[in-house]
């Protein structure tokens, strides 16, 4: 075992040296990556951070304006809703009144036509019928008088005078 001890020590030394080489390579790679990351961080810091700050400032400036716009939209929509409700009520009221007036006008026209018909019937019964009767009586009296006067006058009537002596019943209406 004693002869193996130097071999194990040599192997351990090689392993330690190999591990040190790997660690050195990792260190160098990390240092390069770190340098690149610092360059990127500097670039991001110089370009992105001002853009983010200005975006934040714009949002901070716009926040009260957006709140006011939203408040105005809310107020406008509630006002519009109230006006539409009032308009709906007014239009329904106007329609109801219009229907009522149409019903009243229809009833008025119907009553007027009924009264005109009643008046026409009454005029016919009270004026036209008695006038026809009186006309008939007058025609009868006239015919009787003409007959009496015509036969006593002794003068015979010609054919044209006889036609003129016939009363015309329907002349007076």
Q: What is the dihedral of CA 138, 144, 149, 150, to 10 degrees?
A: 110
Mean of all residue pLDDT scores within the chain: 85
In a domain, 161, yes or no: no
For residue 4, the model assigns a pLDDT of 87
In a domain, 156, yes or no: no
pLDDT tens, position by position, 43-71: 888 888 888 888 888 888 888 888 899 99
Please report, for residues 104, 123, 125, the alpha-carbon distance to residue 115 in angstroms, rounded to integers and kept in the order given. Answer: 16, 12, 15
Note if the pTM is more than 0.75.
no
Range of the domain at 83: 11-151
The number of distinct structural domains making up the chain is: 1
Does the structure show a pLDDT above 70 at 131?
yes
Of the candidates 169, 77, 91, the one whose C-alpha atom is nearest the C-alpha of residue 132 is 169
In a domain, 4, yes or no: no
Does the structure show a pLDDT above 80 at 113?
yes
In a domain, 1, yes or no: no
In a domain, 145, yes or no: yes
In a domain, 44, yes or no: yes
In a domain, 121, yes or no: yes
In a domain, 166, yes or no: no
For residue 149, the model assigns a pLDDT of 86
């Amino acid at each position: 075992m004693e002869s193996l001890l130097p071999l194990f020590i040599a192997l351990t030394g090689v392993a330690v040296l190999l591990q040190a080489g790997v660690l050195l390579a990792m260190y160098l790679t990390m240092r390069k990556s770190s340098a690149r990351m610092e360059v990127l961080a500097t670039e991001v810091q110089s370009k992105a951070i001002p853009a983010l700050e200005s975006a934040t400032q714009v949002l901070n400036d716009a926040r009260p304006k957006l709140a006011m716009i939203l408040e105005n939209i809310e107020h406008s929509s509630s006002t519009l809703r109230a006006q539409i409700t009032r308009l709906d009520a007014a239009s329904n009221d106007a329609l109801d009144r219009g229907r009522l007036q149409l019903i009243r006008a229809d009833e008025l026209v119907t009553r007027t036509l009924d009264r005109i018909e009643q008046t026409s019937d009454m005029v016919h019964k009270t004026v036209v019928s008695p006038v026809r009767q009186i006309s008939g009586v007058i025609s009868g009296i006239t015919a009787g008088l003409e007959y009496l006067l015509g036969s006593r006058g002794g003068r015979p009537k010609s054919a044209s005078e006889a036609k003129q002596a016939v009363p015309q019943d329907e002349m007076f209406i």
